[in-house]
Amino acid sequence: MPNEPAPGRAVVTRRAIRDIVRAATLGSYGVTGFAGGAIDELFARLGLASPGLSVDVDDGLSIELDLSVAYGVPVAEVARQVDSAIRYRIRQALGREVDSLTIRVGGLVCPPGSLPEAPAGSRSRRRSARAAGSTDLAESGTDVA
């Protein structure tokens, strides 16, 4: 049995490349998903499109991503990790390099129950605009006899 590879050709579809890119992206730290509107999500559920992910193979391999990132993580570091993960996975799976990779962060996602702090001035204005509640004194830290 010869050890030499047989001459031939392999065809990789855009869908296969999208699946490789999607897996590499969603496996990266800080990425919560792909950014896209309601119409994009509807097309994705119908299997007609991949929101936030575009692959073009006409003039080399070019990939465009629109991501949503977790609130509080360094966005630049997340983008570097996504770039590295995609380039590595494409190189391993297809044996070729990515010619162009564009990453856009379309939004930040806050986990439930951990909303970011409001600016200092807005909190005091909000409290003065409403009536005092039953727990306001207890939450203020004031001792009541």
> Is residue 35 within 8 Å of residue 50, measured between CB atoms?
no
Q: How far apart are CA 35 and CA 110, in angstroms?
A: 14
CATH of domain 14-111: 3.30.70.1350
Residue 77, pLDDT score: 94
Closest CA to 20 of 61, 70, 59: 61
Confidence of residue 5 (pLDDT cuts 50, 70, 90): low
Helix (H, G, I), strand (E, B) or coil at 73: coil
pTM of the model as a whole = 0.67
pLDDT tier at 13 (50, 70, 90 boundaries)?
A: confident
Mean pLDDT of 100-107: 91
Statement: residue 1 has pLDDT above 90: no
Binned at pLDDT 50, 70 and 90, residue 129 comes out as: very low
DSSP per-residue codes, 114-141: -PPPPPHHHHHHHHHHS---TTHHHHTT
- Sorting pLDDT into bands at 50, 70 and 90, what band is 144? very low
Mean per-residue pLDDT, 43-52: 70
Q: In whole angstroms, what is the distance from residue 18 CA to residue 51 CA? A: 11
The CA distance from 43 to 66, in Å, is 16
With a cut of 90, say whether residue 103 has pLDDT above it: yes
- Residue with the bigger pLDDT between 78 and 39: it is 78
